Amino acid sequence: MKCVICRTGETEYGKTTVTLQRESTVVLIKDVPAQICRNCGEYYLDEPVAAHVYAEAEKAVERRVEVEILRCAA
């Protein structure tokens, strides 16, 4: 698909690191499968992957950790 951020790049499947911040918790999730723009590096998550990532982030927020580094198993 075409990247909606830079409007010139094409995306391709790869792995990326997703960083989410909520309140004082920062969650880093490595090896997340995503479509990544070859031009600007913007990534797009498929719906089930995004749901998984957000669920993991919520758990980290509940544990009240400041920084959590996870590896995506999806």
Under the rule (CB under 5 A), what is the footprint of Zn ion? 3, 5-6, 9, 37, 39-40, 42
Query: Cβ 59 to Zn ion, closest distance in Å?
Result: 31
Which helix (H) or strand (E) segment holds residue 61: the answer is helix 47-62
Give the residue at shortest CB distance from Zn ion: 3
Question: Closer to Zn ion at the Cβ: 13 or 55?
Answer: 13
State phi, psi for 11 to the nearest 5 degrees.
-95, 155
The first and second tokens of residue 27, run together, are 């969650």
C-alpha to C-alpha distance for 74 and 72, rounded to whole angstroms: 6
Query: Cβ 37 to Zn ion, closest distance in Å?
Result: 3
